[in-house]
């Protein structure tokens, strides 16, 4: 028996070693497809969790993500942040109707699905009918659009529920259009449901919503130059195959898009070994350095958020404005940024709730000039604390007249290397200044829950967002983690959003919600300026720094990557340059 | 010695009644070790299931909140927008009373239904476990087998030649190997072996099998399977073999000092017979118990190893589902792994009795 066991083990070992050094992969190529394989990564799931439904949370959005879904199911247009303009994709024309009651898009008449059938207004109508029942698109969940109307075979009007909105425009132009034929009779039933006037909280509406989300399309009809089936999804990578019928089929330079599974830990060795040519994952500074040392270029792009120091306004003395302002002055944000993400983070400059790169676009210069930049000034911080009754005690700690030291627990998510580094450095700097701050590392879900529940004293979470609109950038964290944006009695930061300010009663929550309404950019700038100045003065949170995306780009495998000063690198992940550069053939395989 | 009482043949034979037979049978069953450990095992599983059911739901966030967080972060939605998008997507009501959720779950469980995944399109949990379990059994099971065999042989040799250079070197290796976390070994294999020394192309060893090769019982597919399991198995072996070696060495040394070994030497028995017939068999006893228990833990996989090598085992899946707070899936995996540990513990007890006739774990 023992002999057999030993023989078996020896057999396994020998077989493994033989297999190791004699592998050869046959790679099937579609006829007429361009040569070369783009080697990227995306953390998709495996079938049966992985499916081809574009209106379910575990469908295409999860498995292709915001980057790769757009090369399979095209959007009407592509947004360039540097020039604030949309470039045509599936649509040739778009805009507000003359009376501004609706937004229209006109599709390219030569656009085809991967099965060769034309892409028409009926597909747009079907897409929005399914999205309306499932509340899947922001134009519906945000209440911007009340109806979607077919004008002719290639033109669709989106009727505004209220005033016309640039936010809705982005929602319309950035949403992928799905093929009606992939969803059987569901689009028609959705249209019938909407036409019947059924309420969105009715049972029949909910039943149809369930039916739509549980539907599993047998095939993915693609408008982009790549498509795939569930057979192309393996546990190590999934492969998108070139298809000949897209308007971009002749311009793309890759025959396949191979997306490796896994997050940062799994993809790090694959990037170093050259199995992945480009990755959108977040890598810590030491790994970035390893990539650079290996000759792999790092592309730097905005990530449109950063860590913010959050105050609980129920915890004394953080409800005192001067204390918060003092903290803003005492933290060296450049040091904090470097320790957060190496060269992939920059210190916040304007300290007003809008990203520094967006401030010149979203605000008037007059208002920008009024912003206090809270440049490092510890004397000023001390002065502010003294102005509200604090003084340093014999231990070198700041204490009030009763001897109560400024002390707090600072909760941060242990798994988020960037946020935890930002928090720990802020703690070090505050303690060095004379506070008594205790770090408390918790699992990220716990941290998020505690912030929502108001079960924290100081914490860290993101501020701003990847949107070109001020209302969305202001949203985090003073709405997202404050009572106005929470539910079920959660208090979050409990920063009062209605208050007296300069002799006026202010409803900051409503001001932010209205900030991007309408079409008048100048009016929007004025609104944004007002809000920014209030936030800049009250400092309800400290925007410590802005994190940049540092994405490895292997030039031994990829040609045509953007130069460092290419304006497209101002686009964040939501409008990733890969989408445009893959489709128009700017990037291709290296020789 | 007293006289044996004889029954007179003319006396009527009293037939045992059905009741007394049943009682005797029940008593025998109750006294049966297997019956008792089975009942004990079922009770253990019930307690584990109940505790995990409670603890899982006490984790911060729930499946809906996690998805809302994801939508808010990735798609820049407000809470209300994200919540309305998530509403109805998941077959889970966070407001349902705990006891109602528990009775529903247990009711389904006793009928053999592990429920449906909350976050992944209502896939049956049993289907998911059946999909991922074989990979874990293959990788971790193979790793366990190899490390056990190597550990036994090396440990016995270290004890037999204790104090020699061989012993010192192997003991140092075992201590280092046992002390390094498995994920560090995994990264060292990938970064040193794959990247620095370029011994292999990392991508060719990630995942479970080359997706380009058609599945089937053919040499190419089998070779691909073995090739892809090589790194996880090597990691597992390197991380665990030290423990087996040190335990076997310790056990062998202890056995070598027993009186019966001295007697065997005095009787002039051959070294080979002493080594295999006396020392090896007895020294293995503690390891067999540990092996049986380890078999139970095989099912839970090796989470980090599977995660790093993108190996589609149960451990990796558990990790992903825990992040999503997919309660039913986590619960199902915990139940299966708990059952495996309980069963392997029972088998370990029984096996011990078989290996060592002096130990009879029975009804007495």
Tell which phi-psi region holds residue A327, choosing left (phi > 0), alpha (psi between -120 and 50) or beta. alpha
Angle in degrees, CA B116, B94, A481, rounded to 5 = 125
Q: How far is B10 from chain A (nearest CA, A)?
A: 58
Q: Which of residues 60-89 of B touch A (CB under 8 A)?
A: 60-61, 65-67, 69, 72-89
Quick check: B79 pLDDT over 80? Answer: no
Q: Which of A172-176, B1-5, B174-178 has the highest mean pLDDT?
A: A172-176
Quick check: A16 pLDDT over 80? Answer: no
Percentage of chain A beyond pLDDT 90 is: 81
Per-residue pLDDT of A411-458, as tens digits, reads 999 988 899 999 999 999 999 999 999 999 998 888 988 999 999 999
Query: Encoding tokens for residue B130?
Result: 């059946």
Residues B163/B285, Cβ–Cβ less than 8 Å: no
Compute CA distances A34 → A243, A251, A373, A588, B211, whole Å: 10, 9, 52, 10, 21
Per-residue pLDDT of A56-95, as tens digits, reads 877 898 899 889 999 999 999 999 999 999 999 999 999 9
Quick check: B359 pLDDT over 80? Answer: no
Residue A143 has what pLDDT?
A: 87
Compute CA distances A167 → A469, A515, A527, A564, A577, whole Å: 7, 11, 15, 29, 21
Q: Which one is predicted more confidently, A262 or A170?
A: A170
- Asked, as a colleague might, if the bond just before A317 is cis with ω within 30 of 0, I would say yes
Q: Which one is predicted more confidently, B122 or A408?
A: A408
> What is the pLDDT confidence band of residue A15, given thresholds at 50, 70 and 90?
very low
Residues A254/A581, Cβ–Cβ less than 8 Å: no
Compute CA distances B205 → B189, B199, B209, B232, B300, whole Å: 11, 12, 8, 9, 22
Which residues in chain A have Cβ-Cβ distances shorter than 8 Å to B206? 236, 260, 266, 270, 275
Residues A72/A87, Cβ–Cβ less than 8 Å: no
CATH number of the domain at B150, please. Answer: 1.10.3720.10
Residues A545/A345, Cβ–Cβ less than 8 Å: yes
CA atoms of A476 and B274, how far apart (whole Å)? 74
Quick check: A22 pLDDT over 50? Answer: no
Alpha helix positions (H), A542-590: 577-583
User: What dihedral angle (degrees, nearest 10) is formed by the CA atoms of A301, A63, A281, B117?
Assistant: 130
Largest Cα separation within chain B, whole Å, is: 98
Full set of structural domains in chain A with CATH: 33-42+224-296+552-591 (3.40.190.10), 73-214 (3.90.76.10), 312-547 (3.10.105.10)
DSSP state string for A52-70: --TTSTTSHHHHHHHHHGG
8-state DSSP, A163: S
Domain membership flag for residue B308:
yes
B343–A contact, CB cutoff 8 A: no
B312–A206 CB contact, under 8 Å:
no
Beta-bridged to residue A500, according to DSSP, are A505
Domain membership flag for residue B111:
no
Total structural domains within chain B: 1
Beta-bridged to residue A461, according to DSSP, are A308
Quick check: B311 pLDDT over 60? Answer: yes
Domain membership flag for residue B187:
yes
Of A460, A449, A382, A385, nearest to A426 by C-alpha is: A460
Which residues in chain B have Cβ-Cβ distances shorter than 8 Å to A26? 212
CA atoms of A458 and A440, how far apart (whole Å)? 10
CA atoms of A298 and B280, how far apart (whole Å)? 58
CB proximity list for A133: less than 8 A, separation 6 or greater: A190, A193, A194, A205, A208, A209, A212
Domain membership flag for residue B127:
no
Range of the domain at B220: 133-324
Burial class (CB in 10 A: 0-12, 13-18, 19+), A78: buried
**How many residues belong to chain A?**
591
CA atoms of A527 and A514, how far apart (whole Å)? 8
Domain membership flag for residue B52:
no
Per-residue pLDDT of A570-589, as tens digits, reads 999 889 999 999 999 999 99
Half-sphere exposure of B241 (CA within 13 A, CB side): 25
Query: Encoding tokens for residue A241?
Result: 């195959």
CA atoms of A349 and A544, how far apart (whole Å)? 9
CA atoms of A7 and A3, how far apart (whole Å)? 6
Q: What is the 3-state secondary structure (H, E, C) of B15-72?
A: CCCHHHHHHHHHHHHHHCHHHHHHHHHHHHHHHHHHHHHHHHHCCCCCHHHHHHHHHH
Of A488, A361, A340, nearest to A419 by C-alpha is: A340
CA atoms of A239 and A254, how far apart (whole Å)? 12
Quick check: A534 pLDDT over 70? Answer: yes
Residue B351 has what pLDDT?
A: 74
When pLDDT is averaged across residues A125-148 and rounded to a whole number, the result is 91
> What is the pLDDT confidence band of residue A54, given thresholds at 50, 70 and 90?
very high
Helix, strand, coil percent content, chain B, rounded in steps of 5: 70, 0, 25
Count of pairs with CB atoms under 8 A, one residue in A, one in B:
182
Q: Which of B61, B309, B320 sits opposite A448 (nearest CB)?
A: B61
Which residues in chain A have Cβ-Cβ distances shorter than 8 Å to B191? 269, 272
Of A11, A489, A511, A440, nearest to B145 by C-alpha is: A11
Q: Which of B191, B226, B310 sits opposite A261 (nearest CB)?
A: B310
Burial class (CB in 10 A: 0-12, 13-18, 19+), A144: buried
Residue A282 has what pLDDT?
A: 84
Q: Inter-axis angle of helices A203-214 and A121-134, to 10 degrees?
A: 120
A15–B226 CB contact, under 8 Å:
yes
Q: Which of A25, A216, A239 sits opposite B210 (nearest CB)?
A: A25
Beta-bridged to residue A257, according to DSSP, are A38, A240
Quick check: B355 pLDDT over 50? Answer: yes
A405-442 exposure pattern, b = at least 16 Cβ within 10 A, e = fewer: bbebebbbbeebbbbbbbbbbbbbbbeebbbebebbeb
CA atoms of A525 and A422, how far apart (whole Å)? 31
- Mean pLDDT for all residues in chain B: 85
Domain membership flag for residue B119:
no
Query: Encoding tokens for residue A73?
Result: 């199911």
Residue B10 has what pLDDT?
A: 55
Query: Encoding tokens for residue A373?
Result: 């930049």
Q: Which of A51, A262, A272 sits opposite B310 (nearest CB)?
A: A262
CA atoms of A467 and A348, how far apart (whole Å)? 18
Residue with tokens 């034979």: B13
Q: Which one is predicted more confidently, B290 or B225?
A: B225
Q: Which of A8-12, B82-86, B197-201 has the highest mean pLDDT?
A: B197-201
B309–A275 CB contact, under 8 Å:
no
Residue B88 has what pLDDT?
A: 67
3 state SS of A167: helix
Residues A252/A261, Cβ–Cβ less than 8 Å: no
Domain membership flag for residue B116:
no
Quick check: B253 pLDDT over 80? Answer: yes
> What is the pLDDT confidence band of residue B301, given thresholds at 50, 70 and 90?
low
User: What dihedral angle (degrees, nearest 10) is formed by the CA atoms of B101, B106, B111, B117?
Assistant: 50
When pLDDT is averaged across residues A247-275 and rounded to a whole number, the result is 94
Quick check: A540 pLDDT over 70? Answer: yes
Per-residue pLDDT of A373-395, as tens digits, reads 999 999 999 999 999 999 999 99
A28–B212 CB contact, under 8 Å:
yes
Q: Which one is predicted more confidently, A93 or A210?
A: A93
Quick check: A483 pLDDT over 60? Answer: yes
Domain membership flag for residue B355:
no
Per-residue pLDDT of A493-525, as tens digits, reads 999 999 999 999 999 999 999 999 999 999 999
Q: Which one is predicted more confidently, B9 or B258?
A: B258
């Amino acid at each position: 028996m023992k002999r057999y066991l030993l023989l078996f083990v020896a057999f396994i070992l020998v077989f493994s070693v033989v297999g190791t050094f004699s592998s050869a992969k046959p790679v099937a190529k579609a006829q007429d497809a361009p040569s070369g394989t783009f080697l990227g990564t995306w953390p998709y799931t495996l079938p049966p969790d992985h499916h081809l439904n574009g209106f379910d949370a575990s469908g295409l959005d999860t498995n292709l993500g915001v980057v790769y879904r757009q090369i399979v199911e095209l959007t009407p247009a592509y947004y360039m942040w540097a020039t604030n303009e949309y470039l045509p994709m599936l649509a040739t024309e778009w805009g507000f109707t003359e009376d501004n009651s609706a937004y229209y898009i006109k599709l390219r008449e030569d656009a085809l699905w991967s099965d060769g059938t034309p892409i028409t207004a009926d597909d747009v109508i079907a897409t929005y009918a399914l999205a309306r029942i499932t509340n899947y698109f922001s134009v519906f969940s945000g209440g911007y659009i009340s109806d979607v109307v077919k004008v002719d075979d290639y033109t669709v009007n989106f009727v505004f529920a209220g005033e016309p909105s640039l936010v809705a425009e982005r929602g319309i132009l950035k949403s992928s259009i799905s093929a009606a034929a992939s969803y059987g009779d569901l689009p028609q039933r959705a249209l019938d449901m909407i036409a019947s006037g059924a309420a969105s909280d009715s049972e029949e509406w909910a039943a149809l919503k369930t039916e739509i989300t549980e539907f599993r399309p047998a095939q993915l009809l693609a408008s982009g130059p790549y498509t795939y089936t569930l057979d192309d999804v393996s546990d190590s990578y999934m492969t998108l195959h070139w298809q000949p019928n897209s308007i971009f089929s002749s311009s793309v330079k890759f025959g396949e898009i191979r997306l490796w599974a896994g997050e940062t830990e799994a993809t790090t060795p694959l990037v170093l070994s050259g199995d992945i040519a480009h990755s959108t994952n977040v890598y810590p500074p030491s790994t970035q350095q390893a990539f650079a040392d290996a000759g792999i270029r790092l592309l730097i792009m905005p990530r449109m958020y950063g860590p913010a120091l959050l105050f609980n306004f129920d915890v004394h003395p953080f409800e005192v404005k001067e204390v918060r302002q003092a903290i803003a002055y005492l933290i060296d944000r450049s040091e904090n940024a470097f320790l957060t993400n190496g060269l992939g983070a920059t210190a916040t400059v304007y300290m007003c709730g809008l990203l520094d790169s967006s401030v010149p676009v979203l605000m008037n210069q007059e208002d920008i000039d009024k912003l206090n930049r809270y440049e490092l000034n510890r004397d000023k911080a001390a002065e502010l604390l003294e102005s509200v009754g604090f003084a340093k005690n014999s231990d070198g700690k700041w204490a009030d007249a009763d001897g109560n030291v400024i002390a707090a627990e600072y909760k941060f998510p242990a798994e988020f290397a960037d946020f935890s580094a930002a928090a720990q450095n802020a703690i070090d700097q505050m303690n060095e200044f004379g506070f008594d701050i205790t770090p408390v590392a918790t699992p990220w879900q716990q941290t998020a829950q505690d912030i929502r529940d108001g079960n924290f004293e100081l914490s860290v979470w993101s501020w701003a967002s990847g949107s070109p609109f001020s209302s969305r950038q202001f949203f985090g964290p003073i709405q997202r983690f404050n009572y106005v944006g929470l539910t079920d009695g959660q208090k979050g930061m409990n920063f009062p959003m209605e208050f007296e300010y300069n002799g006026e009663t202010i409803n900051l929550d409503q001001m932010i919600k209205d900030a991007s309404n309408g079409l008048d950019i100048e009016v929007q700038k004025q609104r944004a300026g007002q809000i920014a100045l209030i936030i800049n003065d009250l400092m309800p949170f400290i925007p410590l720094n802005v994190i940049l995306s540092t994405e490895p780009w292997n030039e031994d495998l990829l040609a045509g990557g953007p130069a460092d000063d290419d304006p497209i690198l101002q686009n964040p992940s939501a409008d990733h340059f890969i989408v445009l550069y893959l489709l128009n053939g700017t990037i291709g395989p290296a020789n | 010695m007293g006289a044996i009482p004889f029954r007179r043949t003319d006396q009527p034979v009293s037939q045992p009644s059905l009741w007394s037979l049943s009682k005797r049978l029940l008593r025998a069953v109750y006294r049966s070790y297997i019956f008792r450990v089975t009942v004990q095992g079922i009770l253990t599983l019930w307690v584990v299931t109940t505790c995990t059911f409670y603890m899982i739901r006490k984790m911060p966030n729930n499946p809906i909140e996690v998805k809302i967080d994801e939508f808010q972060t990735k798609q820049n939605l407000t809470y209300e927008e994200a919540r309305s998008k998530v509403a109805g997507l998941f077959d889970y009501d966070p407001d349902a009373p705990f006891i109602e959720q528990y009775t529903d779950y247990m009711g389904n469980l006793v009928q053999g239904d592990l429920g449906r995944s909350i976050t992944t399109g209502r896939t049956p949990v049993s289907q998911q476990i059946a999909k991922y379990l074989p990979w874990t059994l293959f990788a971790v099971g193979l790793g366990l087998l190899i490390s056990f065999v190597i550990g036994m042989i090396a440990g016995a040799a270290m004890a037999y030649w204790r104090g020699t250079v061989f012993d010192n070197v192997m003991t140092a290796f075992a201590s280092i190997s046992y002390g390094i976390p498995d994920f560090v070994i995994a990264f060292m294999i990938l970064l040193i072996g794959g990247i620095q020394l370029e011994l292999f192309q990392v991508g060719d060893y990630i995942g479970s099998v080359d997706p380009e090769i058609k599945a089937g019982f053919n040499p190419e597919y089998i070779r691909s399977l073995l090739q892809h399991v090589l790194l996880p198995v090597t990691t597992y072996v390197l991380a665990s073999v030290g423990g087996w070696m040190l335990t076997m060495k310790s056990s062998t040394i202890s056995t070598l000092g027993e009186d019966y070994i001295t007697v065997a030497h005095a009787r002039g028995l051959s070294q080979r017979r002493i080594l295999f017939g006396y020392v090896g068999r007895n020294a293995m006893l503690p390891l067999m118990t540990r092996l049986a228990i380890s078999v139970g833990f095989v099912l839970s996989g090796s989470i980090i190893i599977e995660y790093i090598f993108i190996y589609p085992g149960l451990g990796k899946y558990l990790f992903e589902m825990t992040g999503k707070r997919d309660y039913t899936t986590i619960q199902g995996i915990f139940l299966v792994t708990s059952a495996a540990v309980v069963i392997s513990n029972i088998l370990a007890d029984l096996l011990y009795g078989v290996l060592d006739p002096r130990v009879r774990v029975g009804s007495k």
